[in-house]
Amino acid sequence: YVYIFKDIQPESSWYRAGLRDGDRLLTIDQRNAILITDEEMRSLMDERTTAVTCEVIWHPELFLELSHG
């Protein structure tokens, strides 16, 4: 999977950490994000009580504005 952040809310911890729409997650706790399944990712993020270390990069060519309709 490739994880692209979208709809980062200004009041969220993600926003306060500096993440913005279009940022691509490269690693989380030194694990390659591409190798982490969606289920694992949810588990990593939902069950956290301590800080995580993430490496991100802005990839505008990978960010697609998705519309419903």
Question: 40-52 pLDDT, tens per residue?
Answer: 877 776 665 667 7
Task: Give, in degrees to the nearest 5, the angle at Cα 68 between 65 and 69.
Answer: 125
Task: Give, in degrees to the nearest 5, the angle at Cα 34 between 56 and 55.
Answer: 20
pLDDT (0 to 100) of residue 69? 44
Contact 19/56 with Cβ under 8 angstroms? Answer: yes
Is residue 67 pLDDT above 50, yes or no?
A: no
